[in-house]
């Protein structure tokens, strides 16, 4: 937040000490003084959650479960969602319909952005400009072009940014059936050789949810329910007649708001791949897809296979296993000229797995966002590397939507010689919204 002579945190700390000094005259709640192990307000990190539907409920849980956090505001364009969130938030939590009113408060440290993706960039940028740190849902943005705008706003304002996907942080089990850490050790050791091919499909442990998040092509307009501000829900998206399948849990099936299972699961699955291949500062130079043709202009539908290739020959192969021929049954997750890794961390040669115990640990990263906020050290998955893995899912969808092999410039972040594909990189927003 902007620095002043007496900022919110300094003021609260001063008043808490003053209250202690005059305890004989004034009754001061123990939580204000940090008694009995409680965190005093002067040391708490204040939060607002913008978008309190499906994923937003999870973010409310993150805040409520952190004793060092204090929830001050919740926001949603659906009055029913908002009322429920205010009730969950409890005493001291205020509800808003318009996120701009939340940012105008001036006392919010962290803004959570679990809105539909067509809002991610605008809310993240506005939060950064308001002096707030940002905890954003995946995908980071709805388009490739929006990503650089978020980076610029975050860094120009000295903010911390967390993207809400966790597998590269070495905790828990990845879809392969093992944490990312030993995979990273094995790749970095060179024991698999180079270049590497990584296959991400149901056969290697990853469900792309292509059918689950497909849109509908026969929507019949329906009345907007009284509790929903549909115009504000649409925001920068084109105006389309209301249908309940467009909003809330099923919005992922429409290009105007998201990109289907690829963008729902893509950063979960592909950010670790990017990390394993040491590609945090670059992107593939070629991408091609095998999918039904022509694609629907509104609804995200099924796809079969996508292959992305980096300049050094490394490849990422995605298969939905829900359309067309499936080519990866029995194939390894990671394959190099010297070795392979299969689901369940089976290796070929078999002794590769045993070698991990003696390999160097990966470089440590900040995996607690509170540490980032307090020390101003970047979170492990931040606006920069998060933007690169965000590009992977949008590159895949661009190949599906154009129906041809695309060449991509990782520096310019543009497709080479293909203006139709580049119109997917930078897409217009409905007035008055703009980047």
Question: Which residue segments constitute the domains of the chain, with CATH numbers given?
Answer: 44-159 (3.40.50.720), 169-425 (3.30.360.10)
Mean pLDDT of 236-260: 98
Tell me the pLDDT band of 166, cut-offs 50, 70 and 90: confident
Predicted TM-score (pTM) of the model is 0.91
Q: What percent of the chain has pLDDT over 70?
A: 89
pLDDT at 25: 41
Q: State the SS3 of the chain.
A: CCCCCCCHHHHHHHHHHHHHHCCCCCCCCHHHHCHHHCCCHHHCEEEEEECCCHHHHHHHHHHHCCCCEEEEEEECCEHHHHHHHHHHHCCCCEEECCHHHHHCCCCCCEEEECCCHHHHHHHHHHHHHCCCEEEECCCCCCCHHHHHHHHHHHHHCCCCEEECCCHHHCCCCCCCCCCHHHHHHHHHHCCCCCCCEEEECHHHCCCCCCCCCCCCCCCCCCCCCCCECHHHHHCCCCCCCCCHHHCHHHHHHECCCCCHHHHHHHHHHHHHHHHHCCCCCCCCCEEEEECCCCCCCCECCCCCEEEEECCCCCEEEEECCCCCCCCCCCCCCEECCCCEEECCCEEECCCHHHHHHHCCCCCCCECCHHHHHHHCCCECCCHHHHHHHHHHHHHHHHHHHHCCCEEEECCCCEECCCHHHHHHHCCCCCCCCCC
Given a cut of 70, is residue 27 above it in pLDDT? no
Given a cut of 70, is residue 168 above it in pLDDT? yes
Tell me the pLDDT band of 36, cut-offs 50, 70 and 90: low
The pLDDT mean for the chain works out to: 91
Tell me the pLDDT band of 328, cut-offs 50, 70 and 90: low
- How many CA within 13 A on the CB side of residue 309? 10
pLDDT digits (tens, 9 = 90+) for 121-153: 999 999 999 999 999 999 999 999 999 999 999
**Bigger pLDDT: 396 vs 21:** 396
Q: Under 8 Å CB-to-CB from 357, ≥6 apart: which residues?
A: none
pLDDT at 176: 80
pLDDT digits (tens, 9 = 90+) for 308-322: 999 999 999 999 999
Two tokens, residue 267: 């950063």
Mean pLDDT of 170-196: 90
CA distance 176 to 162: 24
CA distance 257 to 250: 10
Given a cut of 50, is residue 18 above it in pLDDT? no
């Amino acid at each position: 937040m902007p620095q002043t002579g007496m900022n919110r945190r300094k003021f609260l700390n001063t008043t808490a000490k003053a209250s202690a000094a005059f305890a004989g005259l004034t009754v001061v709640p123990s939580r204000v003084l940090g008694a009995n192990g409680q965190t005093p307000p002067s040391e708490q990190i204040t939060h607002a959650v913008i978008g309190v539907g499906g994923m937003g409920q999870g973010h409310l849980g993150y805040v409520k479960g952190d004793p060092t956090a204090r929830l001050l505001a919740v926001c949603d364009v659906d009055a029913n969602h908002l009322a429920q969130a205010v009730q969950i938030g409890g005493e001291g939590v205020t509800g808003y319909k318009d996120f701009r009113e939340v940012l105008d408060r001036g006392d919010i440290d962290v803004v959570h952005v679990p809105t539909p993706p067509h809002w991610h960039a605008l809310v993240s940028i506005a939060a950064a400009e308001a002096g707030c740190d940002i905890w954003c849902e995946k995908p980071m943005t709805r388009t490739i072009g929006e990503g650089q705008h978020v980076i610029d706003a975050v860094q120009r304002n000295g903010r911390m940014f967390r993207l809400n996907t966790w597998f590269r942080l070495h905790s828990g089990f990845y879809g392969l059936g093992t944490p990312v850490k030993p995979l990273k050790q094995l790749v970095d050791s060179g024991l698999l050789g180079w270049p590497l091919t990584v296959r991400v499909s149901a056969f290697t442990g990853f469900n792309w949810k292509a059918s689950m998040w497909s849109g509908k092509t026969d929507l019949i307009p329906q009345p907007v329910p009284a509790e929903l501000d549909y115009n504000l829900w649409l925001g920068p998206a084109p105006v389309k007649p209301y249908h309940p399948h467009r909003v809330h849990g099923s919005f992922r099936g429409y290009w105007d708001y998201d990109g289907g299972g690829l963008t729902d699961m893509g950063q979960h699955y592909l950010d670790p791949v990017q990390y394993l291949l040491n590609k945090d500062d670059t992107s593939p130079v070629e991408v091609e897809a095998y999918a039904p043709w022509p694609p629907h202009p509104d609804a995200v539908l099924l796809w079969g296979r996508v292959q992305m290739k980096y300049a050094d020959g490394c490849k990422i192969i995605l298969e939905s296993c829900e359309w067309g021929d499936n080519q990866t049954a029995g194939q390894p997750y990671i394959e190099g000229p010297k070795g392979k890794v299969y689901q369940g961390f089976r290796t070929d040669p078999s002794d590769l797995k045993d070698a991990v115990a003696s390999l160097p640990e990966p470089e440590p990263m900040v995996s607690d966002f509170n540490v980032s906020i307090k020390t101003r050290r970047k979170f492990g998955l931040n606006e920069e590397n998060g933007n690169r893995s965000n590009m992977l899912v949008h590159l895949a969808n661009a190949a599906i939507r154009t129906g041809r092999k695309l060449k991509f410039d990782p520096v310019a972040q543009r497709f080479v010689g293909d203006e139709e594909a580049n119109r997917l990189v930078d897409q217009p927003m409905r007035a008055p919204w703009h980047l």
